[in-house]
Amino acid sequence: MNYTFQFGPVFEAWPLLLRGTWMTIQLSFLAMVLGLLIAVVCAWGKTAGPRPLRWVINIYIELIRNTPFLVQLFFFFFALPAIGVRWSPYTAALVAMTVNLGAYATEIVRAGIESIPKGQIEAGLALNLSRAETFRFIVLKPALRAIYPALTSQFILLMLASSVVSVISANDLTSVAANLQSETFRSFEIYIVVTGIYLLLTLLFSYAFRLIFQRTLNYPGGR
């Protein structure tokens, strides 16, 4: 093996890699927040909403969960302009990631909601709490505590799947790596570094999720 490792060109491009990493973090974080909001609303609709609403939510979930994320991304970026809806690569990537996460997380949140004993809900209503207050304090918090590991695993998968958005020229970490590879032809070195960055992001997100759990869902005042 006569290959000579040259990491110099990769490290010289650290501002571009840093910018791409920040774009990946931004996309992932916003999609996690927005996707979770969609999931909570849809999970409530599936468990307590009228039948027509449940049908609509089921169609949404089945459509997203049974089609590739890449096709969904192409739909938002390439197909919608045909009917006059044009988005930047960043916006299309964010919308696609949010919609995708929302569908997967809905079933996770729904399972958590349905794990709450009906007696607790009835007790909340008996204490003169409104339905919204009962859902927020008696149903949602314990449900999120129960499903937190599964939900955060889905968040991590979303962050890793964000690399796909590079195909529509969203300037995420993978897109920056591809551009550097075409300029320097140091594929091995570039993707070794990028692999390390994704691993670091995964560890940082996992650590942040553990802190959130300890501070908001697992302390006595949050029960």
Range from 3-7, 8-12, 128-132, 148-152 carrying the lowest mean pLDDT? 128-132
Quick one: pLDDT at residue 115? 85
* Average pLDDT rounded to a whole number, residues 36-48: 91
Quick one: pLDDT at residue 95? 96
The mean of the pLDDT values for the chain is 89
Q: Is the pLDDT of residue 107 over 90?
A: yes
What is the Cα–Cα distance from 54 to 46, expressed in whole angstroms?
5
* Average pLDDT rounded to a whole number, residues 200-214: 93
Summarize pLDDT for 161-174 with one digit per residue, the tens: 999 999 998 889 99
User: Which residues, 6+ apart, have CB-to-CB distance to 44 below 8 Å?
Assistant: 113, 135
Q: Predicted confidence band at 117 (pLDDT cuts at 50, 70, 90)?
A: confident
Quick one: pLDDT at residue 89? 94
Q: Is the pLDDT of residue 222 over 70?
A: no
112 C-beta neighbours (distance < 10 Å), count: 21
* Average pLDDT rounded to a whole number, residues 152-159: 95
Q: How many CA atoms lie within 13 A of 49 on its CB side?
A: 16
Start-end of H helices in the chain: 8-12, 14-48, 51-65, 69-74, 89-114, 118-126, 131-133, 141-161, 173-184, 187-212
Q: Is the pLDDT of residue 70 over 70?
A: yes
196 C-beta neighbours (distance < 10 Å), count: 10
Pairwise pLDDT comparison (215 vs 89), residue with the higher score: 89
Token pair, residue 134, equals 């009962």
CA dihedral 77, 80, 81, 84 (to 10 degrees): -140
CATH 1.10.287.610 fits 14-222, yes or no: no
The backbone region for 84, taken as left when phi is positive above 0, alpha when psi lies in -120 to 50, beta otherwise, is left
Q: Predicted confidence band at 151 (pLDDT cuts at 50, 70, 90)?
A: very high
Quick one: pLDDT at residue 39? 95
Summarize pLDDT for 181-190 with one digit per residue, the tens: 988 888 899 9
Summarize pLDDT for 90-106 with one digit per residue, the tens: 999 999 999 999 999 99
Domain ranges of the chain: 14-222
Q: Is the pLDDT of residue 126 over 90?
A: no
Quick one: pLDDT at residue 200? 97
pTM: 0.88
Q: What is the 3-state secondary structure (H, E, C) of 60-102?
A: HHHHHHCCCHHHHHHHHHHHHHHHCCCCCHHHHHHHHHHHHHH
Range from 45-49, 91-95, 135-139 carrying the lowest mean pLDDT? 135-139
What is the Cα–Cα distance from 59 to 67, expressed in whole angstroms?
12
Q: Predicted confidence band at 221 (pLDDT cuts at 50, 70, 90)?
A: very low
Name the DSSP letter for residue 116: S
Quick one: pLDDT at residue 172? 93
What is the Cα–Cα distance from 41 to 129, expressed in whole angstroms?
20
